[in-house]
Amino acid sequence: NAGVMQNPRHLVRRRGQEARLRCSPMKGHSHVYWYRQLPEEGLKFMVYLQKENIIDESGMPKERFSAEFPKEGPSILRIQQVVRGDSAAYFCASLKGPGETQYFGPGTRLLVL
Amino acid sequence: GNSVTQMEGPVTLSEEAFLTINCTYTATGYPSLFWYVQYPGEGLQLLLKATKADDKGSNKGFEATYRKETTSFHLEKGSVQVSDSAVYFCALATNAGGTSYGKLTFGQGTILTVHP
């Protein structure tokens, strides 16, 4: 059973470009969390999704950030018009259902030049 | 709101030394508590967990006891190895229902380096 997959592992963008981060959950998992880890900090919750549904987006910045988890395919975290402060590691975690153990992917390290 | 505070790092130990990483929390209700480990360039792996007061989580020689009276969940290992070098995160998740159920709140992480 493959683990949680994230791609790309590393992403470099210039200010103003768009970043798309993908997360493929473990087989049988229909829920996904996204977290952001700023340099030398712990992970901070961003958004919680179920297939075709946003459950909790209270951790998402109000502008430029969006997330989706379609019926088919990976979950996508999209950052429009990136700024240097968006440079961070973005982790997703998948789980079977609410309150179940979260299994983390290896992360995408975004660098904004 | 929920919060987790870990002891400041980094922590540097010699092989076979005793390890303690302190973790205290603030939460509404009765959360579940976790320790995650992050090896360089990798994602987080669940190390151990405890879901109610006085529970002891254990795995790979690591232990932590859920202390409700002191709101703590300190991580301990009797004899560390070089391969234990990693970043350790304490975290909690609320057990109440609603949209925040299961959402993890993390401490800032503690870097552990073990020398031969």
The model's pLDDT over B64-108, given as tens digits with 9 standing for 90+, comes to 999 999 999 999 999 999 999 999 999 999 866 666 668 899 999
The alpha-carbon gap from B77 to the nearest alpha carbon of chain A, in Å, equals: 22
- B95 and A99 in contact by Cβ < 8 A? yes
Which of A68-72, A100-104, B108-112 has the least mean pLDDT?
Answer: A100-104
Mean pLDDT of chain B: 92
Which of A1-15, B52-66, B88-102 has the least mean pLDDT?
Answer: B88-102
Amino acid A21: pLDDT: 98
Query: Which CB contacts under 8 angstroms, 24+ apart, belong to B61-65?
Result: B62/B35, B64/B23, B64/B33, B64/B35
* Residue A60 contacts residue A45 (beta carbons within 8 Å): no
In this complex, the residue of A42, A91, A103 whose CB is nearest that of residue B109 is: A42
> For chains A and B, what is the number of CB pairs under 8 angstroms?
60
Per the structure block, which two tokens stand in for A85?
A: 């402060």
Q: SS3 for B84?
A: helix
Amino acid A1: pLDDT: 52
Amino acid B102: pLDDT: 80
Distance of CA A34 to the CA centre of its chain: 4
Q: SS3 sequence, A62-111?
A: CCCEEEECCCCCCEEEEECCCCHHHCEEEEEEEECCCCCCCEECCCEEEE
| Residue in A closest to B39 by C-alpha | A106
Q: Is B104 on the interface with A (CB under 8 A)?
A: yes
Task: Give the residue with greater pLDDT, A41 vs B35.
Answer: B35
Counting residues of chain B whose pLDDT is more than 90, the rounded percentage is: 78
- A107 and B108 in contact by Cβ < 8 A? no
Per the structure block, which two tokens stand in for B75?
A: 């991580």
Amino acid B15: pLDDT: 97
| Residue in A closest to B102 by C-alpha | A99
- B104 and A35 in contact by Cβ < 8 A? yes
Q: Is A106 on the interface with B (CB under 8 A)?
A: yes
Per the structure block, which two tokens stand in for A44?
A: 């901070």
Please report residues of B whose CB lies closer than 8 A to that of A40: 108
- Whether residue B27 is predicted with pLDDT greater than 80 in this model: the reply is yes
Amino acid B96: pLDDT: 63
Q: What is the mean pLDDT of residues A15-38?
A: 96
Per the listing, tokens 């998402």 go with A60
